[in-house]
Amino acid sequence: MSGLSNTPVIVLVRPQLGENIGKAARAMLNFGFAEMRLVAPRDGWPNPSAGPSASGADIVLENARVFDTTAEAVADCAHVYATTVRKRGVTKPVLTPERAAREVGQQEGKSAFLFGPERSGLETDDVALARTIVTAPINPEFGSLNLAQAVILVAYELSKTADLHIPTEEELLPPAPQEELEGLITHLETMLKPKGYFFPKDRAEATRRTLRGVITKPGWNHLEVRTLRGVLSALEKPPRKVD
């Protein structure tokens, strides 16, 4: 994605319950999406029932924009996707959420994903506004997703292609320097040698290289290396007496 102007928006068309709007907001923010648009919510907006269900995704609810019609809600969007399990008599390309997400990641202009009311889904006129239909490959004998489930399914796929991932604390830590890895490898070899691990002698170097590959492959950060060294140090000590 080339910037915030291209970040996909989630459009809830005629949502019925405030609780479901809140759950949808929570699902959105889980994967880094915060722009929600509401089309004629049944119980009006703001809805006091939405906040508790959002579980902290207040920024999504506070910035939600309300429109009278679906056409107005997507007027600034170059690409509109209608999520529905049925084509409803409208002939359009049909994509899975994964394929739609990949398409969004490769095209310019804002994209919108339409989600229909809880009971009936999108109407034919709503689907007609979309250029593409998005359908999840779920059980054909029981194709019933609630609103939040549908939103989280699409948001998850979009997050894999959009530059919206929020790194965890572990991901922010760089890989451990080579010196620390060497210390871990030496520590491990020192413990293994008296146990006869590097036997037979003619295979010792090959075994060491394989062991080195196992240790260096994961890209441990310094906290992980420190933890592993602590494990080895604990194994070196005599067992504690347990009363």
- Tell me if 28 sits within 8 A of 60, measured CB to CB: yes
Tokens matching residue 235: 């194994």
Which of 31-40, 89-98, 127-136, 185-194 has the weakest average pLDDT? Answer: 89-98
Q: Which range among 108-117, 126-135, 160-169 shows the weakest confidence by mean pLDDT?
A: 160-169
Q: Write down the residue that tokens 């948001």 correspond to.
A: 155
Highest mean pLDDT pick, 8-22, 81-95, 152-166: 8-22
Q: Cβ of 199: how many Cβ atoms within 10 Å?
A: 11
Sign of CA dihedral 36, 44, 83, 150: positive
pLDDT tens sequence across 185-198: 999 999 999 989 99
Q: Which of 113, 131, 119, 86 is nearest to 12 (CA)?
A: 113
Cβ atoms within 10 Å of 82's Cβ, excluding its own:
29
Q: Which residue in 84, 91, 82, 95 sits closest to 144, CA to CA?
A: 84
The pLDDT confidence band at residue 30, using thresholds 50, 70 and 90, is very high
Mean pLDDT of 226-238: 89
> Smallest Cα–Cα separation from 147: which of 4, 6, 32, 41?
41
State the pTM of this model.
Answer: 0.65
Digit-coded pLDDT (tens) for 90-124: 678 899 999 999 999 888 889 999 999 888 889 98
Confidence category of residue 172, pLDDT binned at 50, 70, 90 = low
**Is 91 in contact with 130 (CB distance < 8 Å)?**
no
Give the pLDDT confidence score for residue 2 in this predicted structure.
Answer: 37
pLDDT score at 3: 40
Domains of the chain: 4-166 (3.40.1280.10), 170-236 (1.10.8)
Which pLDDT belongs to residue 86? 61
Partners of 9 in the β-ladder: 112
Q: Taking all residues of the chain, what is their mean pLDDT, rounded to a whole number?
A: 86
Confidence tier at 241 by pLDDT (50, 70, 90) = low
Q: Which are the contacts of 60, defined by CB distance < 8 A and separation ≥ 6?
A: 25, 26, 28, 29, 33, 34, 35, 36, 54
Number of other CB atoms surrounding residue 26 within 10 Å: 20
CA 218 remoteness from chain centre: 22
